[in-house]
Amino acid sequence: MKFIGYFNTLGVFALAILCAVQWQANGRINRRAIDLEKTRQEHLQKIAEEDRTIKGDASDLEDFRRRLEQSDAALREAEGKIVTLGMERDRAAAERDAAMTARDRMKATLEKWVSAVKERDESLKKGNDEIRKLAAERNDAVVKFNALAERYNSVIKDLNMSRGK
């Protein structure tokens, strides 16, 4: 029985050693499982962050596309306005040139009119001078005629007196 007792003791020691080895193996496995779980949690966090980043980037990309479309539409509108303004500028330049031509014609007409008015004024001045001269000659002729008529009347009076009337 002693043999069974030794064998039993030896079995207990072997079991203890086996338990210790198993315990170490389980400890390593648990530590590895804990490390793997930490790694998994870190990866999940990274994946969640990357998902948020991707969603944010997708939102930014969509916003960028929207802005690009708006910019493209604004560019097309601005180009249309530029074309319209160019046509308006050309039309205004043509109108200005036509107005300048009309202004030049009006200026020439005005110069002719001013010249004609000067000629008319000179003619009127000469005519007025002639009228004054003729009026003065007429007045002299009237004065002479009146003097002549007075002398004639005086001669007739003297004649009538000498005839006795």
Model pTM score: 0.39
Tens-level pLDDT at each residue, the chain (165 residues):
787 888 898 889 999 999 999 999 999 999 999 999 999 999 999 999 999 999 988 888 898 899 999 999 999 999 999 999 999 999 998 888 887 787 788 888 889 999 999 999 999 999 999 999 989 999 999 999 889 889 988 888 888 888 876
With H, G, I as helix, E, B as strand and everything else as coil, classify residue 1: coil
CA distances from 143 to 98, 135, 147 (A): 65, 12, 6
